[in-house]
Chain A
Amino acid sequence: EVQLVESGGGLVQPGGSLRLSCAASEFTFSRHWMSWVRQAPGKGLEWVANIKPDGSEKYYADSVRGRFTISRDNAEKSLHLQMNSLRAEDTAVYYCARVTVAGTAWDYWGQGTLVTVSS
């Protein structure tokens, strides 16, 4: 069974940094686009970033571009999100999600990791 396990969330002050990780298993990680999707408390889902299978292309939501960096290590089957200059509005559960081979949906999700930005 495909597994995605996030880690690295926590409480951070505004302006601070945090690095999220996602460990993937039971599928060929290097063949899939991967994404981060977040959900603020009591709110809807928001796509954050995508990365191509070989890491050569990365895309970001306007709300995080220039502050967040997505990366991956195919040898380690891991996905990362470096978050800098964090703001209160970045408070959310962050999900790692696998993009389908067709590239049009997220078919597997991790359990999520909570990031709280507060002083």
Chain B
Amino acid sequence: DIQMTQSPSSLSASVGDRVTITCRASQSISSCLNWYQQKPGKAPKLLIYGASNLQSGVPSRFSGSGSGTDFTLTISSLQPEDFATYHCQQCYSVPGTFGQGTKLEIK
């Protein structure tokens, strides 16, 4: 199975900050990488698919980049509703493995 590693595991930031979360795959996955946002007690929500494509309805402050093994999720200006856990997931091969998650907390 392809292993996905996110960093950092947790992050403290303030409203208005620019934040970057990294996801690394154990082998090349081309651009088959998705990002999900999950708030406590809620289901995950698709933010970015295919490494850089913004899902419909997702604010433009979210962006994704990368290919091969290294990917990033960037939030350009943190809003209060962005404090959540973020998961990357590879879609290159079955099983579609997830990273361990990055918890974004308010500083």
Contacts and interface: CB of A to CB of B under 8 A. Distances in A.
A22 B5 CA distance: 31
A56 interface: no
Say which size band chain B's interface belongs to. Answer: 20 to 34
Contact of B98 (A45, A62, A109): A45
A27 to B, nearest CB: 14
Given A45-B87, A45-B89, A109 B95 contact: no
Interface residues of A, number: 19
Interface string A40-78: 000011110010000000010110000000000000000
Contacts, number: 49
A109 B45 contact: yes
Nearest to A37: B44
Given A44-B99, A104-B32, A95 B50 contact: no
Interface of A: 44-47, 50, 59, 61-62, 95, 100, 102, 104-107, 109-112
